[in-house]
Amino acid sequence: MMTTPERSEAELDSVLMLYVEGRERRTGPTLFDLLEQYPQHASGLLEFAELYEATVDADEDVLENDQYPELERILTETMAQALRRMPKTLSARGRELGKCKSAIAGAIGIPLEVFGKIDMRGLSLGSLPVKLISRLADVLDLSVAQVIAYLQQPQPQGAHYARTVPIEPLQESFDAALERAKTTPEMRVWLAEERWSAINTAAAE
């Protein structure tokens, strides 16, 4: 049975193969497409693409057409475009779909108060289970890139923070929030799921 890093490495290898095949055949997903579809492997994909592009023939049409300028900028643009398509909050997106907060939390399988913290970006992105992020995207009819782009934005400051001295609101971990919430045994299975930080770190190595 493969460990989490081994599974992540195997998935990254598959993503890199898709990139190479697409570049060689001039068909299939572009780098932009892959970054949006596999944001958890962005670091590894960008590093590989940069090395790959450095080795291709300078006469290739792709380079002449300047299809991949400044690879780091592509990731930024991917997230920026995803964010522009996002409502102000995840719960606002739910209302667009006729789903209240409790319905969203129930569909994901987490307590309402935990979803509320996610909605307000009160939980650290790295502590969230990867499958939870994917399920959140499915329930709200969003791409994973859109959800990640939303969660990466600064946490809104509440009225209780001093206006004269900017204070960065503290984010807590998903595990801590779930432990404090009223949970069912089904909800607690999230504690055993692999985290975004674990997969993203493995992809960057």
Query: Hey, where are the domains in the chain?
Result: 4-84, 90-196
Q: Which two tokens stand for residue 8?
A: 């992540």
Q: Summarize pLDDT for 3-15 with one digit per residue, the tens.
A: 555 667 778 888 8
Q: Summarize pLDDT for 38-57 with one digit per residue, the tens.
A: 877 776 777 777 666 665 54
Q: Summarize pLDDT for 100-122 with one digit per residue, the tens.
A: 999 999 999 999 999 999 999 99
- Phi/psi at 26 (5° precision): 60, 25
Q: Summarize pLDDT for 140-196 with one digit per residue, the tens.
A: 988 777 788 788 887 765 534 444 444 445 689 999 999 999 888 889 899 888 787
Using CA atoms, how far apart are residues 80 and 10, in angstroms rounded to an integer?
28
Provide mean pLDDT across the span 74-102. 79
Yes or no: domain 90-196 corresponds to CATH 1.25.40: no
Region label for 181, one of left (φ > 0), alpha (ψ between -120 and 50) or beta (otherwise): beta
- With CA atoms as reference, report the closest residue to 52 among 34, 39, 33, 68: 68
